Chain A
Amino acid sequence: MAIGDTIPDFTLPDLNGNPVSIQNYRGKKVLIFMWASW
């Protein structure tokens, strides 16, 4: 994955287990902040 690539379609659960798809955010600018509790 590199700058200029299109983000692949993925769906991940939110904190309540509901699926969230990155496709839902087409048409919006998105900042993904990747973190962990450790």
Chain B
Amino acid sequence: MAVDIQGADAARVHAADKTFVTVIDSENILSDQFGFKIVPNGIFLDEDGVIRFAKQGFRITEPDHFEAVEILIQDPKAHIELKDVYHITDETQSLEKQLAVTKFKLANEYLNSGKKDEALKEMDEALLLDPDNFLIRKQRWYIRYPENFSPTIDIEWQQVQLEKEKAEEAVKQGGQICGPEGCVIPGTSFPPNQVFSIKTKTNEI
């Protein structure tokens, strides 16, 4: 399931030759329902459509993750506990997060109507409400700076850009956003047994 806001055209080059079905969730409907803020993610359903496993930051190349899927295929009701945990600690009000999601959906509609500037404005505002939402942040990069995603994804540029944007957002919000380890882009380094956390401080309303 590709979550690209640009739709099938962006996804096709990566998926056209695969034996499995690829669908496009360009409005991030499913990731919103799970509260995912990053990709990639893995969801396992049993034969009755019951969710048995939902992992934010799932990678089939990770031995633990691969093994989890093997276990679930044999026994869908198996309880899986992975050592690596992706979580964010924050005190953001849930209404702010909902507003961020709504603004992101509005941005999607603007893009569909060819209104790129209006879309970017909504995404800018959405990120101020939910700065840890990497689905929104990365989509915004892809639209604003497409040259850094083709022919290859420039991860170093992303790291520099993230630091810059966090500094700008910190000025707007009057607090430190990244933790002592600096700003982390989830999914760019993935040693097992490491806890990823980004502490945020947001203004209480």
Contacts and interface: CB of A to CB of B under 8 A. Distances in A.
B186 interface: no
B109 interface: no
B69 interface: yes
B1 to A, nearest CB: 5
B8 A35 contact: no
Contact of A7 (B39, B45, B149): B45
Contacts of A26: 47-49
Nearest to A13: B24
A20 B23 contact: yes
Given A29-B76, A34-B25, 20 more contacts: A3-B51, A3-B53, A7-B43, A12-B25, A13-B23, A14-B24, A22-B49, A25-B45, A30-B49, A31-B42, A32-B42, A32-B45, A33-B1, A34-B36, A34-B41, A35-B2, A36-B135, A36-B139, A37-B14, A37-B142
Contacts of A33: 1, 40-42, 58, 60
Interface of B: 1-4, 6, 8, 10-16, 21-25, 29-31, 33-36, 39-54, 58, 60, 69, 72-73, 76, 135, 138-139, 141-142, 149, 153
Q: In terms of DSSP, what is the predominant structure of the interface of chain B?
A: mixed
Nearest to A28: B47
B58 to A, nearest CB: 7
Q: In terms of DSSP, what is the predominant structure of the interface of chain A?
A: loop
- Interface range, A side: 20 to 34
Contacts of B16: 15
Interface of A: 1-8, 10, 12-17, 20, 22-23, 25-38
A34 B3 contact: yes
A36 to B, nearest CB: 5
A12 B23 CA distance: 6
A16 to B, nearest CB: 8
A6 to B, nearest CB: 5
24 contacts: A3-B51, A6-B49, A7-B45, A7-B49, A7-B50, A10-B29, A13-B8, A13-B24, A14-B22, A15-B22, A22-B45, A23-B49, A26-B49, A29-B45, A29-B73, A31-B45, A33-B41, A34-B3, A34-B41, A35-B39, A36-B4, A37-B2, A37-B6, A37-B11
